[in-house]
């Protein structure tokens, strides 16, 4: 693909001069810290976004990508910023992986001093920064800012295996600065020798370069439990929707990983204490669900992957944002992913990101047909359904609402008691739904989460205490919005 000339010139030559901020960075909402406050407005961060390679992969036209997110009504994207890449790797079965750039198109934070072996990304000097990388990074965050999009900056990742480690610039075989650790599972620990110093410098550099932006959140590490697992429970997930053995295991990171993550959070905090702005820090807790018993005091956003609704409900008492910032590994059916989003957000979650494999080089508008073998879902039709969810939430004063205690595994809801209700039913043939509504007059609207069509509208007069809602006919799932008339 030929990169558009104007985009190429912007990346290579533009001075990324950002005007002074008019507002503090995105933060927890002071009235309801389960949600965000961004530029004076309450926000739930909702998106269906690319596989994190927008900056590292020079072939990826991120202007077209960000334009698509803005046009389709989304307000968040996630970005990998470390040396982690998945070059020539088949671990996850991702065709046209944006984190698998051509060798000549890969950008790392450090300066490459020579090409290296054919299967190497190159040889790096970790004492020198790559100006082109930081220019592209800042341009990406600036362009996201102009479109009202919050960027989660993922500062590091689990390495998973020797194949992925072999391409990482921090691997001693790929730089002139380090002799160890050779074993990848030592990399993101406090026992990694001199590597720790270079990791600290890298964190401080990223945080300093991006300090002026108000639209960023820093995630310490992606999926730390993968390299350092601690089993929490065996989950009885359905084999039809979760066919892999690992999908039955809810894991968190072990204590060795937590020590390293806390240290990196301290580096972020100490660096920003010398700068103008302080940003939120997020921590990737678990796949599926886990009860957070000892939350890091430096962390404000707790991320889960492939989250079950309990990830939100079990941790609601923390009064922080609980996030589902990666989906995937289910069959390619809209309902499976759509219902996951509805159930999580109506259980008290404040961020949802569908990992959308329709965004690839050459199809940065998210129209690439996702092959059956790719481990996730997305595309224009699915994104419309997620936008419908966002519209439903934003039609109500969600900051004033709280999750309704679940009485049925497949019925979820948010309520401002006596005023506003949003209910989601994730199964067919629910004959009746009792709601404890106080006396008054209400409007009730049943909506298809798949199409946005209104299936039935009612005006309800309640003189006692309660109403039994009878759903209309629906195919897979249905939503109900109830608002009290003034």
CA distances from 468 to 402, 432, 433, 435, 461 (A): 21, 6, 5, 6, 12
| pLDDT at 4 > cutoff 90 | no
Predicted confidence band of residue 91 (pLDDT cuts 50, 70, 90): confident
pLDDT for the residue numbered 10: 46
Q: Please tell me the least confidently modeled range out of 112-126, 240-254, 258-272.
A: 112-126
Backbone angles phi, psi at 67, to 5 degrees: -60, -40
Quick one: pLDDT at residue 464? 83
- pLDDT given at position 283: 99
Task: Give the pLDDT band of residue 22 (cuts 50, 70, 90).
Answer: low
pLDDT of residue 7: 47
Residue position matching structure tokens 């601690």: 230
Q: What is the pTM of this model?
A: 0.94
What pLDDT, on the 0 to 100 scale, is given for residue 381?
99
CB contact burial 256-289 (16+ within 10 A = b; e otherwise): bbbebbbbbbebbeebbeeeeebbbbbbbbbbbb
pLDDT, tens digit (0-9, with 9 covering 90-100), for 318-337: 999 999 999 999 999 999 99
Is residue 9 pLDDT above 60, yes or no? no
**What's the whole-number mean pLDDT along residues 154-171?**
96
DSSP 8-state class, residue 174: G
Distance CA 338, CA 40 (A): 29
Reported confidence tier of residue 182, pLDDT bands at 50, 70, 90: confident
Average pLDDT over every residue of 135-160: 99
Closest alpha carbon to 145 in 46, 70, 208, 53:
70
Overall average pLDDT of the 348-372 stretch: 98
Answer whether residue 287 shows pLDDT above 60. yes
Q: How confident is the model at residue 169 (pLDDT cuts 50, 70, 90)?
A: very high
Cα 383 to the center of its chain, rounded Å: 15
Question: Is 14 a residue whose pLDDT tops 70?
Answer: no
Confidence band for 8, pLDDT divided at 50, 70 and 90: very low
3-state secondary structure of 300: coil
pLDDT over threshold 50, residue 74 = yes
Query: Does position 399 have pLDDT exceeding 80, yes or no?
Result: yes
The CATH classification of domain 5-394, taken from the options 3.40.190.10, 3.40.228.10, 3.40.50.150, 3.20.20.80: 3.20.20.80
Average pLDDT of the segment spanning 352-379: 98
b (16+ CB within 10 A) / e for 194-219 = ebbebbbbbbbebbebbbbbbbbbbb
Kindly tell me if the per-residue pLDDT of 5 is higher than 50. no
Whether 82 shows a pLDDT value over 90: the answer reads no
Look at residue 188 and tell me whether its pLDDT is greater than 90: yes
């Amino acid at each position: 693909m030929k990169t558009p000339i104007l985009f190429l010139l912007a990346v290579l030559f533009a001075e990324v001069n950002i005007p002074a901020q008019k507002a503090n960075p995105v933060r927890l909402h002071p009235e309801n810290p389960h949600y965000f406050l961004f530029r004076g407005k309450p926000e739930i961060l909702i998106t269906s976004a690319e596989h994190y390679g927008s900056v590292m992969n020079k072939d990826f036209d991120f202007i077209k990508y960000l334009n698509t997110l803005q046009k389709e009504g989304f307000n968040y994207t996630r970005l990998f910023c470390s040396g982690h890449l998945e070059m020539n790797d088949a671990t996850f079965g991702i065709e046209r992986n944006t984190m698998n750039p051509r060798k000549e198109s890969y950008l790392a934070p450090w300066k490459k001093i020579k090409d290296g072996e054919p299967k190497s990304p190159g040889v790096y000097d970790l004492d020198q920064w790559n100006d082109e990388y930081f220019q592209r990074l800042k341009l990406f965050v600036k362009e996201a800012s102009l479109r009202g999009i919050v960027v989660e900056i993922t500062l590091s990742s689990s390495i998973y295996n020797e194949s992925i480690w072999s391409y990482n610039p921090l691997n001693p075989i790929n730089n002139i600065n380090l002799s160890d650790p050779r074993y990848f599972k030592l990399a993101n620990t406090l026992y990694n020798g001199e590597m720790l110093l270079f990791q600290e410098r890298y964190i401080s550099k990223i945080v300093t370069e991006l300090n002026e932006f108000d639209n960023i959140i820093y995630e310490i590490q992606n999926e730390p439990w993968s390299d350092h697992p601690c089993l929490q429970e065996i989950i009885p997930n359905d084999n039809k929707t979760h066919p892999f053995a690992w999908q039955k295991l809810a894991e968190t990171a072990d204590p060795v990983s937590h020590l390293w993550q806390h240290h990196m959070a301290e580096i972020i905090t100490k660096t920003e204490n010398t700068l103008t702005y302080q940003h939120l820090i997020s921590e990737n807790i678990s796949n599926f669900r886990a009860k957070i018993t000892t939350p890091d005091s430096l962390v404000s956003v707790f991320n889960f992957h492939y989250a079950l609704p309990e990830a939100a409900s079990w941790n609601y008492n923390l009064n922080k944002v609980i996030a589902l910032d990666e989906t995937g590994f289910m069959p390619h059916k809209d309902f499976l992913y759509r219902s996951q989003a509805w159930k999580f957000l109506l259980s008290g979650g404040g961020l949802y990101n569908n990992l959308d494999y329709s965004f690839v080089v050459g199809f940065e508008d998210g129209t690439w047909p996702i092959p059956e073998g790719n481990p996730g879902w997305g595309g224009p039709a699915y994104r419309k359904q997620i936008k419908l969810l966002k519209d439903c939430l934003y039609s109500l004063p969600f900051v004033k609402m709280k999750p309704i205690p679940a009485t049925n595994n497949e019925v979820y809801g948010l309520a401002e008691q006596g005023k506003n209700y949003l209910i989601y039913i994730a199964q067919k043939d629910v004959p009746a739904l009792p709601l404890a509504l106080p006396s008054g007059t209400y409007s009730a609207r049943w909506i298809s989460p798949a199409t946005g069509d209104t299936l039935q509208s009612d005006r309800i007069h309640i003189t006692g205490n309660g109403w039994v809602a009878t759903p209309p006919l629906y195919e897979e799932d249905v939503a109900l919005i109830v608002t009290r008339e003034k």
